[in-house]
Homo-oligomer: A and B are copies of this chain.
Amino acid sequence: MEEILELIKEKSYSKVKKLLADMLIPDVAELLENIEEDTDLIVTFRLLPKSLGAEVFSYISSELQETLVKSLSDKEITYIIEDMYTDDAVDLIDELPANVVEKVLKNSTKETRQLINKLLMYKDNTAGSIMTTEFVDFKSGMTVEKALSRIRRIGKNVETINLLYVTTKERVLQGVLSIRELLLADQEDTVDDLMETNVISVDTSMDQEEIALIFQKYDFLSLPVVDKENRLVGIVTIDDVVDIINEEASDDIAIMNAVAPNDKPYLKTSIWKIWLNRMPWLMLLMISATFTGIIITKNESVLSASAFGIVLTSCIPMLMGTGGNAGGQASATIIRGISLNEISFKDSLIVIWKEIRVAVLLGLSLAVVCFLKLLYIDGLYKMDDGYLVAGVVCLAMFITVLVAKVVGSFLPLIAKKCKLDPAVMASPFITTILDIISLLILCGLTTAILPI
Contacts and interface: CB of A to CB of B under 8 A. Distances in A.
Interface residues of A, number: 108
Interface string A80-94: 000000000000000
A23 B196 CA distance: 10
Contact of A292 (B221, B318, B357, B435): B318
A28 to B, nearest CB: 11
A382 interface: no
Given A282-B326, A366-B286, A271 B358 contact: yes
Interface string A350-389: 1100100110011001100110010000000000000000
Contact of A162 (B162, B200, B242, B286): B162
A293 B316 contact: yes
Copies of this chain, complex-wide, total: 2
Given A257-B331, A321-B432, 19 more contacts: A24-B200, A26-B218, A161-B179, A215-B242, A219-B242, A221-B221, A221-B238, A250-B340, A256-B257, A258-B325, A267-B351, A267-B354, A271-B361, A274-B354, A278-B362, A279-B365, A293-B313, A297-B314, A300-B310
10 contacts: A23-B198, A148-B183, A151-B183, A162-B221, A267-B337, A271-B357, A279-B365, A282-B329, A293-B313, A296-B314
Contacts of A329: 257-259, 278, 281-282
B340 A246 contact: yes
Contact of A373 (B196, B218, B290): B290
Contacts of A313: 293, 296-297, 300
9 nearest interchain CB pairs? A293-B314, A257-B332, A249-B249, A292-B317, A289-B321, A219-B239, A289-B318, A275-B361, A297-B314
A168 B75 CA distance: 44
A24 B3 CA distance: 51
Given A267-B342, A350-B267, A293 B278 contact: no
Contact of A324 (B253, B369, B431): B431
A336 interface: yes
Contacts of A365: 275, 279, 283
A153 B283 CA distance: 66
Q: Which of A184, A317, A342 gathers the greatest number of chain B CB atoms within 10 Å?
A: A317
A183 B161 contact: yes
A110 interface: no
Given A221-B238, A286-B321, A322-B286, A180 B200 contact: no
B343 A266 contact: yes
